[in-house]
Amino acid sequence: EVQLVESGGGLVQPGRSLRLSCAASGFTFDDYAMHWVRQTPGKGLEWVSGLSWNSVSLGYAESVKGRFTISRDNAKNSLYLHMNSLRPEDTALYYCAKESSRRAARTIDYWGQGTLVTVSS
Amino acid sequence: DIQMTQSPSSVSASVGDRVTITCRASQGITNWLAWYQQKPGKAPKFLIYAASSLQAGVPSRFSGSGSGTDFTLTISSLQPEDFATYYCQQANSFPLTFGGGTKVELK
């Protein structure tokens, strides 16, 4: 069974940093691209960033470019999101998500339950 | 970036109704389109890929169609467990973008 478990969220002041982690299990982690997608309370979904199986960047949303960095450790079956210079508008539930195919499908078949990031003074 | 526009933003329907949701892309994406279902407090669930292919385990009352810029998700006979919010997502290019969602509510 595929499991994605996010951690690292919490309350943080504007301008500070936070690192999210995602522990993956139930599939061959280093076969798949992985993504972070966020959802603001009561609102829609926004893709944040993605990373190929071999750590080639798939890009970032314009809203986080230059502030967030995605990374992975295939030996630990883990995905990370390093978030710097956090802003109130980064407040959201952050999902770790698995790409649906070994080939570049750019769709997501499994999502974690999310970790909530709140940026406020 | 490719903008995805869904309509309507909400629809009221009864069990057994046929429901159709529309998604429009700001530029052609051939059939690079996915649909997701999300229930309150839960992560999205993958329903359809390549515009019309059902993900394993998804009931056949769900279907997708379209190509280019215009796409539809149809639920042929709405069931109680189908009341949820539905999102389209273009898979043509990065950054991946989602529609604003369509909430299917009980009439």
Over the stretch A36-71, which tens digit does the pLDDT of each residue have?
Answer: 999 997 778 999 999 999 999 999 999 999 999 999
**Which amino acid would we find at residue B79?**
Q
Predicted pLDDT of residue A22: 98
CB-based contacts of A98, cutoff 8 Å, min separation 6: A2, A4, A24, A27, A32, A34, A35, A108, A109, A110, A111
Q: Which two tokens stand for residue B66?
A: 């379209």
**What one-character DSSP code corresponds to residue B55?**
P
Predicted pLDDT of residue A109: 96
Q: Measure the CA dihedral A105/B92/B61/A3, to 10°.
A: 40
Nearest by CB: A114 against B43, B93, B97? B43
Task: Say if B80 is an interface residue toward chain A (CB within 8 Å).
Answer: no
Nearest by CB: A100 against B32, B46, B99? B46
Predicted pLDDT of residue B2: 97
Q: Decide: B55 and B49 in contact? Cβ < 8 Å.
A: yes
Predicted pLDDT of residue A36: 98
pLDDT tens figures, A55-111 = 999 999 999 999 999 999 999 999 999 999 999 999 999 999 999 998 878 999 999
Nearest by CB: B55 against A47, A59, A109? A109
A100, B92: Cβ pair inside 8 Å? no
Where chain B has pLDDT below 70, the residues are none
Task: Give the torsion sign (CA, B86, A88, A94, A82).
Answer: positive
Q: What angle do CA B66, B68, B71 make, to 5 degrees?
A: 30
Which residue shows structure tokens 């949701």? B21
Q: Decide: B36 and B49 in contact? Cβ < 8 Å.
A: no
Q: With contacts defined as CB-CB under 8 Å, which chain B residues touch A109? A: 46, 55
B96, A50: Cβ pair inside 8 Å? yes
